[in-house]
Amino acid sequence: MKIETPFTKMMNIQYPIIGAPMFLVSNEDIVVAISEAGGIGTVPSLNFRPPEAFFSALQNIKQRTKKPIGVNIIVNKSNQRAQSDLKMALDQGVELFITSLGSPKEVIKLAHQNNAKVICDVTNLEHALKVQDMGADGVIAVGTGAGGHAGPISPLVLVSWLQKKLHIPVIAAGGIANGATMAAMITLGASAVSIGTRFIASTEAQVNPEYKKAILKATPEDIVMTTRLSGTPASVIRTPYIVQTGLELPFYLRFFKNKSWAKKYAVPLIHFLGSKSLEQAAQNPTWKTVWSAGQSVGLIDEIKPCRQIIEDLVSEYNDCITQAPRLTSI
Q: With a cut of 90, say whether residue 10 has pLDDT above it.
A: yes
The span from the CA of 205 to the CA of 207, in Å, is 6
Q: With a cut of 80, say whether residue 97 has pLDDT above it.
A: yes
Q: With a cut of 90, say whether residue 13 has pLDDT above it.
A: yes
Residue 317 burial (CB count, 10 A): 23
Q: With a cut of 60, say whether residue 36 has pLDDT above it.
A: yes
Query: How many domains, in total, are found in the chain?
Result: 2
Tell me the H-state helices in the chain: 6-11, 28-36, 51-64, 82-91, 105-113, 125-134, 155-165, 179-187, 197-200, 209-217, 240-245, 251-257, 260-283, 306-323
Does 178 lie in the same domain as 246? no
Does 14 lie in the same domain as 132? yes
The span from the CA of 53 to the CA of 72, in Å, is 15
Mean pLDDT of 233-260: 60
Does 177 lie in the same domain as 219? no
Domain membership of residue 215 as a residue range: 209-283
Q: With a cut of 80, say whether residue 304 has pLDDT above it.
A: yes
Q: With a cut of 90, say whether residue 246 has pLDDT above it.
A: no
pLDDT of residue 235: 84
Pairing of strands 234-237, 223-226: antiparallel
pLDDT of residue 49: 84
The DSSP secondary-structure symbol of 96 reads: E
Does 187 lie in the same domain as 230? no
The span from the CA of 26 to the CA of 85, in Å, is 16
Q: What is the CATH number of the domain that holds 168?
A: 3.20.20.70
Q: With a cut of 50, say whether residue 287 has pLDDT above it.
A: no
Does 181 lie in the same domain as 265? no
pLDDT of residue 234: 78
Does 235 lie in the same domain as 115? no
Inside any domain, residue 297: no
Does 199 lie in the same domain as 163? yes
Q: With a cut of 50, say whether residue 265 has pLDDT above it.
A: no
Inside any domain, residue 163: yes
Does 315 lie in the same domain as 268? no
Inside any domain, residue 107: yes
* Mean pLDDT rounded to a whole number for the chain: 85
Query: At CA 288, angle to CA 284 and CA 294, rounded to 5?
Result: 85
Query: Smallest Cα–Cα separation from 290: which of 252, 234, 249?
Result: 234
Inside any domain, residue 294: no
Pairing of strands 192-195, 17-19: parallel
Measured CA to CA in angstroms, residue 205 lies from 3, 30, 97, 217, 264 at distances of: 26, 7, 21, 17, 34
pLDDT of residue 328: 57
**Per-residue pLDDT reduced to its tens digit, 44-93:** 998 888 889 999 999 999 999 999 999 999 887 767 788 899 999 999 99
Q: Minimum mean pLDDT among 72-76, 227-231, 310-314: which range?
A: 227-231
- How buried is residue 244: exposed, middle or buried, by Cβ count under 10 Å (0-12/13-18/19+)? exposed
Does 277 lie in the same domain as 146? no
The span from the CA of 185 to the CA of 11, in Å, is 19
Does 246 lie in the same domain as 110? no
Q: With a cut of 50, say whether residue 311 has pLDDT above it.
A: yes
Q: With a cut of 90, say whether residue 198 has pLDDT above it.
A: yes
pLDDT of residue 244: 63
Does 116 lie in the same domain as 170? yes
- The full DSSP string for 8-41 is HHHHT-SSSEEE---TTT--HHHHHHHHHTTSEE
The span from the CA of 54 to the CA of 52, in Å, is 5
Mean pLDDT of 308-321: 96
Q: What is the pTM of this model?
A: 0.86
Does 97 lie in the same domain as 58? yes
